[in-house]
Structure 1
Amino acid sequence: MDEKQLVRQVLSGSDSAIRLLISKYERLVIHMVTRVVSNDMDREELCQDVFIKVIDKLNSFHFDSKLSTWIATIAYRMAVNFAKKKKLEQVGLEEVAFKVGEINDVTEEQDMKKFILRLVEQLPHSYKTVLSLFYLDGFSYPEIVEVTGMPEGTVKNYIHRARQKLKVIVEDHARREVALL
């Protein structure tokens, strides 16, 4: 199957074409990501994110270059952006130390983000997925539909239910914290 046929079939929603696309370019994506990101878990997650983005943005590919070049560019840029973000997170507190009044605010905000992410991890997989795509990755409903294959009503429902479950988890955690005081 040539690139144009593969792209058409992936865009039409063919699961087998998506699997073929991933298997055909998996080594390339791993190679590009490995050049920039050293942590195994981060690399694995980033490779998955690359393919989500490739599939999401495939309709904007116009065959101006080879598909492999386009995918490698996406993988490389995402890896570089990831590495920059990681580096900023690691250096962040050292840089903020010069602004003594802001240290507590930044630390509390980072702790809160970590805390919220740990709570999100307690949600069922499908809820966690749509919630993360919507809030963390900034995907629109149609994009989440495209990525997950779920109907738009289901995506909206899962996001609503995930928020409700997260609220219950937060309230339960707050009650336990108050009980410890």
Structure 2
Amino acid sequence: MSNPPTSAATDQQLVAQVLGGSPAAFGHLVRRTEGLVTQVVFKMIRHPADRPDVAQEVYLKAFKNLAGFRFQAKFSTWIGQIAYNTCLHYLEKKQLVLVDLAEPAPGDAAEEGRRGPPTLVAGPDYDPETSLFDQDLAGILGAAVEQLPPLYRTLVALYHQQELSYEEIGQITALPEGTVKNYLFRARKLLKQRLLATYHRDDL
């Protein structure tokens, strides 16, 4: 009789236990990845009523295809890929735009490397309690992020909230790292332009 799954087990051990017939092991995998899946689904799917069904579909697909997972990437990255592709399928069915590439966004990823990112969206070490953003401004920023196209919202969430690398985001979205950097730059630029168009600079 196999040992019961524990939170200390590795992803590979849990996957083996799931394939051996342990539903509890899959529950551990869900808990480990639900933050990432939630971020992807909530950023890609705007309609709240559809999000639970999409998230459930993600884990049903993961369970169904678990035997084919070979740990060529992290388990969380694999789940992220499933979540992203499931959301893409949803958007296609709804005929919704993932991102408007015609949206004007001055500069490119090379310019971002020279000048650094706009400060309206901070990096992984961003702490709203100790930075210039107080809770009210953080709320304003969050609301502005939600107005970005689905792809931009998702990339911002994966980079700034999930603290994933460009490589990991590229694996999840099937986008080249350079494209991820460029889209993040466009998202920050668009976010900054919209905030400055709505609020006085001194307010931000």
Q: TM-score range, shorter-chain basis?
A: 0.3 to 0.5
Larger Rg: 1
TM-score norm. by structure 2 comes to 0.42
**More relative contact order in 1 or in 2 (CA 8 Å, sep 6+)?**
2
TM-score norm. by structure 1 comes to 0.47
Structure number with the higher helix fraction is 1
